Structure 1
Amino acid sequence: MNASKPLIGLTTYLEQAQQGVWDVQASFLPKVYFEAVYRAGGIPVLLPPQPVDDEIAAEVLGALDGLIITGGKDVDPARYGQEPHPTTDEPRPDRDAWEDALLTAAIERELPFLGICRGLQVLNVARGGSLIQHLPDVVGSTRYNAGGGVFTVNEVGIAGGTRLAELVADEAIGVKSYHHQAVDELGDGLVVTARSDDGTVQAVELPDHPFGVAVQWHPEEDAAEDARLFAGLVDAARAYRAGKGAV
C-alpha cells in the first residue's frame, strides 16, 4: 500500500438503477466526488449503505484515514423530532443510520471528515440539531435549488479564524448550490463558519476536531475553486495515517 496516499471513504447512494437488461437497486456515486479525492492525492473507497452497529462502524473506519459524507436525499425528519414537510424526500433509514454511525465514530476517534450538502445536515442532526425542511418557505425563493439538476451559484461569507477560512483564504466565495434544506437549530459543539447574505448556514465545523468540516454547497462540482477543501481533508488524513503508523 502506498503510504503517501491516505484512504478516503465516501458514502454512496442506494437507488434503483438500470444497466442493460438489469433494473435493480444499486450503490453508486457520481464520478466527480471520487475524482476530487484522487486529484487531491487520496485513494477513494466507496462505502455503500448497509446494516450497521458500533462494531461494524469501528471496523470500517479502522481501515480508513478520512471520511466524506456525500450529498443525496433528505435526512428523515423523525431523526430530529419533526413531521415531514410535503416537499421532504421519502426517508432513507438505511443510509441515515449508516452515515450517522460512521460520522459519530469518526468524531470519537478524531478521524478527519468532510460533509457535503446532505453531509452537513447529517452532521448537524447527529449532534442534536434540526433542519429547515424547505428553504423557500423561509427565504422566499428557490435561489439554492433551481431543480432539474441545475446548480445555482451563491456567494457565501467565510468567518475569519476558522479552519474553513484557512482552507479557502478568502472572505467570500461563489459556490454551487443544490439544496432545499439547511441548518435550523445548531448541533452541539458545532460553530457556523459560513453564511449567505440571507443568513442561511453554509458551513459548520467542530473546532476541537483535527479536521471536522462540513459545507452546504457542492465543492465536487467546482474543482478549480473548491479543490482546496479536498486537499485539506487529504492532508489531514495523511497526518492521521502517519499517526496510526507511529502507534
Structure 2
Amino acid sequence: MRKTHDDARALIAELARDSMTVAVGGFGLCGVPFDLVEALRDTGVRDLTVVSNNMGVDGMGLGILLENRQVSRVIASYVGENREFARQYLEGEVAVEFTPQGTLAERLRAGGAGIPAFYTPTGAGTVVAEGKRTEVFDGRECVLEHGIVADLALVHAHVGDVDGNLVYRRTARNFNPGCAAAGRVTVAEVERLVELGGIDPDQVMTPGVLVDHVVVAAERVKPIEKRTTRDAAVAGGGEGR
C-alpha cells in the first residue's frame, strides 16, 4: 500500500487534534520537518505537548508553534536559541520538562521499543531526579525514567520510498529515528521520493513499518542557526582577494 500524500497540510489537518503529544525530529534547525510543522501550525490546534530536543529558533521550526500559542508543554533537553521559548517558560506560559539529552533519546527509543521505563544514572542526585523513583545498582544511584510514546511523530528524511523506508543524511539523522519509532502515527517528509526497491535494504535507517504517511518536502534554502565565517585574509594567510 502506497503511503504517499500530495498535500501535507490536508494530511496534518486530518491527523491533528487539541491536547495531543507530538514528537518532532531535528536538532536546532538541522533535520527539522519544516513543512509538517508549518502544516501543524495552520491547523490551529491548541494545548500541544511537544517532545523535541529543542524548540528551534524564533520564527523558524517549532518556534512558530510557540509564537502561535499552540504549545502548553515541552519535553526537551534545552531552551536553545529561542528567545520566545525562554520568555514563555520564565513567565509560566508554557511548562517545560527538562530532560538530559541522552535520556531524552533513550526515552524515545524505549517508547518505540515498547519499554515502559528504565533506570539510568544520568541526573541522579540533581533536580532531574526530584519526584522520581531511584534505585541503586552496582553501587550507583539510578533514576527511573519513562519511555515516551507520542500521538503523532513528525520527521524529516533525505530519501524515502513509497512504503515509508527512510534514509537520513549525516547529522540530520539526530532525533528523527527515535521520534519516528515513538509515534503512534508517524508522518515523514522526504527530500527525494523513490519507488519500492529504490533504497538498498542495508541503507534503511527507519523501516517502513514505523512510518504511516510520506510527503515530499518543498524545496527551500536550508537555514543555518549560527553562521560563522572567517575573513578572507585570515583564511588565506595573506591579503584577501
Give your verdict on TM over 0.5.
no
The two structures have a TM-score, normalised by structure 2, of 0.29
Instruction: Indicate the structure (1 or 2) with the bigger Cα radius of gyration.
Output: 2
TM-score normalised according to structure 1 size: 0.29
Write 1 or 2 for the structure with the bigger share of helix: 1
